[in-house]
Structure 1
Amino acid sequence: MRENTTLTTWREGGQTIGAWLSIGNAYTAESMAGMGFDWLCVDLQHGMLSYDDLKYMLPAISTRESIPIVRVPWNEPYEIMKALDAGAYGVIVPMVNNREEALQAVAACRYPPDGGRSFGPIRAAMYGGRGYASEANSQIACIAMVETAEALDNLEDIATTPGLDAVYIGPSDLAYAIGLNGP
């Protein structure tokens, strides 16, 4: 399994620059990966992308140094595991409102004993290489998306959740939630 350089940079206190993909095309994904972004996020929550798009886009991103991340549709273990099984090196999990929901997301990202992710004959292991299952827990980024008033009130609890690697602020939904009427 290759090193998740984005996660390494965050753990060292550094910053990264990423971009979002909403065009379901492997060539576009590979082209964007060649532009020098640290990470690229394939957006399955909004837009018109599907799992069928994802399974071609993630390997295309992985031909370059960019780290493939997926924003999953919801904080649902099945959706998280499916994105990781397809080869994502991290997930952005929307609508995380409290520590319990953050722990649920972390558990879906980690193999036992650190979580409840199940293992099967998955694509990630095929192109992640030997050692994928033993290295994935330390290389997969679990990112909680904070975008509600409740989540804002619980931000410290969410951010200090064991196993959570980052918090991503959802500016549009959060603006609506706190009465700023959107972007």
Structure 2
Amino acid sequence: MTLREKWSAGDETLGFWLSIPGFVGAEIAARQPVDYVCIDTQHGVIDYLASASMIQAIELAGGTPIVRVPWNEPGIIGKTLDAGAHGVIVPMVNTREQAEAVVASSRYVPNGSRSWGPVMAGQRHPDQRAWADATTAVIPMIETREAISNLDDILAVPGIDAIYVGPADLSISLGLEPHGNADESRLDDALATIVAACGRHGVTPGIHSTGALTQRRRDQGFRMITVTSDALALRAGYASELAATRGAGSATSNDLY
């Protein structure tokens, strides 16, 4: 099933986040029982060529590759989808007009204005246009006060499948520090507002999380949840093994987003 099919059925989707370039790590992540693997080309150190090979590796492992693009720009979004991404997460979408631009860049005519040229994706899907129309997940990010004030307008845009909350930027916008807000009412209230609006518009609410925070986010109503990243998992794995070696148990954190 595609992400869009799972969301239409009301299913929860869990995923991993990759910010370190390399097809090996991408394949390892995709061979875990997750619903998607997101390649971060905004804040990670992954360039376009690396992301294209990582998309290949994720598909080889039977996974679903999606990409967070650097910005809401049609050339970037189209080129990412041409590389074979099954969906795009687009940062800092604050208005209806910006949301409409995301959809237009992601979908072919008549539902958008995406340019034809699926050099990589077309090799894997001979029925590329039909496949893209059915599969491509369009996921704007909600991560500012401005976005929350325009939430109903944004979510009313046809063609949006899910939204994705960046808790760090949202926290900063709310006057908080970027981390350590798991019990902060201002953040919780904002998340409740987002989930309620998604329910009104039939859009799946997504969020960046950790394994320890996932149950809380699930209880809050999120159905697309990224449970860890390669960098955090690597750091936690090293710390755990080193702590066990020194007889100090293992180190974990509930607040690593």
Instruction: Tell me the SS of whatever aligns to 1:108.
Output: helix
Report the Cα offset of residue 77 of structure 1.
Answer: 0.5
TM superposition score normalised by structure 2:
0.68
TM superposition score normalised by structure 1:
0.94
Q: 1:121 to 1:132 in 2, by over 3 A?
A: closer
* 1:115 counterpart letter in structure 2: G
Alpha-carbon displacement from aligned partner over 1:119-164 (angstroms, at most 9, x marks no partner): 125111112x211112212210000101111001112221221100
Measure, in 1, the Cα distance between the counterparts of 2:15 and 2:118.
Answer: 30
Work out whether residues 3 and 135 of structure 2, in 8 Å CA contact, stay in contact via their aligned partners in 1.
no
| Counterpart position of 1:8 | 5
Measure, in 2, the Cα distance between the counterparts of 1:109 and 1:121.
Answer: 12
* 1:162 counterpart letter in structure 2: P
User: Equivalences for 1:133-172 in 2 at 5 Å?
Assistant: 133-172=129-168
User: Equivalences for 1:57-136 in 2 at 5 Å?
Assistant: 57-120=54-117, 122-127=119-124, 129-136=125-132
Instruction: Tell me the SS of whatever aligns to 1:17.
Output: strand
Instruction: Tell me the SS of whatever aligns to 2:34.
Output: coil
Work out whether residues 18 and 44 of structure 2, in 8 Å CA contact, stay in contact via their aligned partners in 1.
no
Instruction: Tell me the SS of whatever aligns to 1:81.
Output: helix
Measure, in 2, the Cα distance between the counterparts of 1:142 and 1:44.
Answer: 16
Structure 2, unpaired ranges of 5+: 180-257
Q: How many residues align?
A: 179
Work out whether residues 18 and 40 of structure 1, in 8 Å CA contact, stay in contact via their aligned partners in 2.
yes
| Counterpart position of 2:211 | none
Out of 172, 175, 186, the residue aligned to residue 176 of structure 1 is 172
Q: Hey, which bits of structure 1, 4+ residues long, moved more than 4 A?
A: none
Structure 1, unpaired ranges of 5+: none
